[in-house]
Structure 1
């Protein structure tokens, strides 16, 4: 079994001077990161509340969960420190840490402890005690053993109606996910994965595990800033990047003078050193896909969730035309099936232990190892997967099932639309009266007319609302509840 602590110990012994993490303040070698992680682990283990929690004798108390809020560097430190301390990590978004903490405390009961780590200061060169030409696999003491099925990471999420949940991922889940992801998007020593996703989401945290498994370098950004991310990519050192569609769109919108496009008004064309641009977190529209492909971006549309430890399916390259929702085949080690409603179910080693409960009991949210996702999908004879929408987003307009993504994909082609989402308000005639909410220079009348020409009757928006921006979360996903409220306020 490999967890972050054992992987880092091995890398620090074998390649101590290799760069583990690049930050805006400087680089950390594997040896420096090991030293930082072990210092931080001692801080956690010497804390009285932590010691009391580790002494808990409840039958399912495998470990204590340490909830830590902070920026990207703080959460990266916490991930490694908790692994060395034998403690699960529940990373919190600083913007809503208090609310998330209260929800986690209710879900996890007495096993939850909230911790902070002292500032580490800027990165600095530390003499490496194992700078040898030959590998020294046993040069550093191994971290204490931890059960492979113990919780390692707790990711806060929400149900379809906003009810708080927390996904428990074990060391084995995370190791299986990293191995499968690296098999699909080859990652090796010398490669650099740019991580600008929040580390309190599984998409950002999973990059740590992939890079440690491969001995690659993490280029850690504290937040997504289009100009800074593009500068890093354009430097020619980044081989992999993870982006949401909203992030990709902002990179493509960079002006020519900053983006390095081939001509005035052109979108930025990444260097050949960027081999994989993993796109996930929200649905990728056809206009955005075609625009990015025309600019030479090596797009890899993907599908995954916290419950599957990030990537579950990824499309790397295809000879057939891409259609919206196409995410390629499942990663190795995963099985899938569709039920009668079209809902996708997943099973495999990277599927979560279960949802967090006060007893830390595994299996909550699973049925015989199968996880019922909230996504509707289609699987063809070749095993290629297409996501057609979310089951809990389905609308019924005039007695006909309508999924917002179907309407959004058509209306996105309307001239003058930059971003669009579809919701509904209650109506005595239609049931769900469709409302299109868009950003762009088009007029509501032109959008309505475009819908009349392109969509069947049940899918046509009856109301069209132009706004300055759509309600999206940090990962770029449409916040459907906020969108419905916006449409309701406009009626």
Structure 2
């Protein structure tokens, strides 16, 4: 078992995110806290708006143990809603606005929120959801046209009794391997994630561009980091590569978090339309594997710090971190790892019989930490499959080296079993991604009457290449059983809302 990285730990958490915002509003009232396409909010604005919405929620009976759902894009209204819900002792549920109305209605029914806060652009989608209370905000209105007006409201700022075991937030799994499941996290779990902000070297002067959606663990976690540390959160409407590059310049962005596909696209934009990004200090990345070629290109072109985060919705966000120093050290082989577990996080690699495997041996990755969920909402069968004695089974396959660095080889659900051999898609993808003319790729299995499964590849090409070219390239670099037998060429890969490739949607 390995536990605890060399990550520099922040001070022990003495108060909540909400208390940190209160303090910031007192001590730095006029500093900018949140920027979105419609407004700039100071810390005083943020605090007051959260109080007004909390008063609205109170007037509609929302209290401790209730849930407040948020439906909207990445805008300032999201952190306001989070704070307001927590001030009422309620938890926050981010809804995936990219889903069809029927799917969203089913997810909403599963979590049974007492109140829905939504942006006016999504009124039609909101109308399909069965939620007792509702608050709508129009982007061009004064923030939170209040049911209880700002001028005469007696906002009760007394803290509602809560404890670390109270539910604070619900994520939904990405659905990359099936239907999304609701993942509740406690207040204690959320606060236990805060020291890991140190990986990104934020401070009060940082300006973080939050690209991942707020209903995803990455986007929500960075919002929490911003409110706790006191840095500026920046949300933009145009998240195209050009829009991101422009925003970095316009807002003096110091920190950004991106998935590898977006890093690839941003590099393409900067090569085609060169511009300097002098303010950019740090790029965080994660959610899917990154090729060594792409990582090297990004470090070379952007010229700033890089840090990788590995985690899941069920682990409350990051549990392993490839830190800035790891990208600069004398061990380039570690760049293909996910880093080491954070302080207070234990990891074990287990075999099919549940035994703990030695360093260098591949198996399923199990984590234990205060950040881990206590189970899927109203789904004891699914919970029993992944949670055992406080340990969470990620169903990811990987191994630890002698120094405690974690190497993730793929998901057990994605493993391709062909002719008695196991093929990790990520191993094949790493080889394919280095082939000239391959922009993106994904490897997956399809049923085969003789071999059980056959290895197949989906490729996005930047120049004419054939199936025979791909097979020949892989044959020179992989074992025979790992070489794709079929190749399909696509214009884009199917993805979940959080950017993960949806292999179940691939076919040849």
TM range (shorter): 0.7 to 0.9
Cα deviation, 1:182-211, whole Å, max 9, x if unaligned, reads 222222111111101100111101011111
Residue of structure 2 equivalent to 1:409: 430
CA distance in 2, matches of 1:19, 1:474: 29
Q: What are the within-5 Å matches in structure 2 for residues 227-246 of structure 1?
A: 227-235=242-250, 237-246=252-261
The number of equivalent residue pairs is 449
Query: Does structure 1 residue 383 correspond to structure 2 residue 404?
Result: yes
SS at match of 1:24: coil
Query: Does structure 1 residue 24 correspond to structure 2 residue 37?
Result: yes
Checking the alignment, whether the CA contact within 8 Å between 1:354 and 1:364 is kept in structure 2 is no
Query: Does structure 1 residue 104 correspond to structure 2 residue 110?
Result: no
Checking the alignment, whether the CA contact within 8 Å between 1:100 and 1:156 is kept in structure 2 is no
Residue of structure 2 equivalent to 1:280: 286
Residue of structure 2 equivalent to 1:155: 171
Residue of structure 1 equivalent to 2:56: 43
Shift of 1:293: 1.8
Shift of 1:298: 2.5
Cα deviation, 1:436-479, whole Å, max 9, x if unaligned, reads 11001222221121112111110011111111111122322110
Query: Does structure 1 residue 76 correspond to structure 2 residue 114?
Result: no
Shift of 1:105: 4.6
CA distance in 2, matches of 1:285, 1:31: 43
Query: Does structure 1 residue 392 correspond to structure 2 residue 443?
Result: no
Cα deviation, 1:239-291, whole Å, max 9, x if unaligned, reads 2111001111110010546331xxxxxxxx642x4232111111111221121
Q: Which of 87, 95, 105 in structure 2 is aligned with 1:92? A: 95
CA distance in 1, matches of 2:417, 2:335: 22
Checking the alignment, whether the CA contact within 8 Å between 1:197 and 1:224 is kept in structure 2 is no
CA distance in 1, matches of 2:414, 2:188: 32
Please give the TM-score of this superposition, normalised by the length of structure 2: 0.82
CA distance in 2, matches of 1:370, 1:412: 34
CA distance in 2, matches of 1:88, 1:97: 24
Query: Does structure 1 residue 368 correspond to structure 2 residue 395?
Result: no
Residue of structure 2 equivalent to 1:136: none
Change beyond 3 A, Cα 1:15–1:100: farther
Residue of structure 1 equivalent to 2:8: none
Residue of structure 2 equivalent to 1:184: 199
Cα deviation, 1:340-389, whole Å, max 9, x if unaligned, reads 14111111121123221289xx9995322211112112112222111111
Structure 2 unaligned segments of length 5 or more: list them: 1-13, 117-130, 144-155, 353-362
Checking the alignment, whether the CA contact within 8 Å between 2:398 and 2:408 is kept in structure 1 is yes
Structure 1 unaligned segments of length 5 or more: list them: 55-61, 126-139, 261-268
Cα deviation, 1:93-151, whole Å, max 9, x if unaligned, reads 222263444433554468787354321654879xxxxxxxxxxxxxx945423222111
Shift of 1:396: 0.7
Change beyond 3 A, Cα 1:7–1:245: same
Residue of structure 2 equivalent to 1:135: none
Checking the alignment, whether the CA contact within 8 Å between 1:194 and 1:240 is kept in structure 2 is yes
Residue of structure 2 equivalent to 1:469: 492
Cα deviation, 1:148-194, whole Å, max 9, x if unaligned, reads 21111101115664133111111211111122x22222221111111
Change beyond 3 A, Cα 1:110–1:244: closer
Residue of structure 2 equivalent to 1:224: 239
Cα deviation, 1:75-110, whole Å, max 9, x if unaligned, reads 333212211222111111222263444433554468
Q: Could you say what the CA RMSD is over the residues aligned between the two structures, in angstroms?
A: 2.6
Change beyond 3 A, Cα 1:308–1:248: same
Shift of 1:325: 4.1
CA distance in 2, matches of 1:4, 1:444: 53
Residue of structure 2 equivalent to 1:289: 295
SS at match of 1:476: coil
Q: Which moved more, 1:217-226 or 1:401-410?
A: 217-226
Following superposition, which runs of at least 4 residues in structure 1 exceed 6 angstroms of deviation? 110-113
Change beyond 3 A, Cα 1:434–1:363: closer
Residue of structure 2 equivalent to 1:171: 187
Shift of 1:423: 1.1
Checking the alignment, whether the CA contact within 8 Å between 1:191 and 1:239 is kept in structure 2 is yes
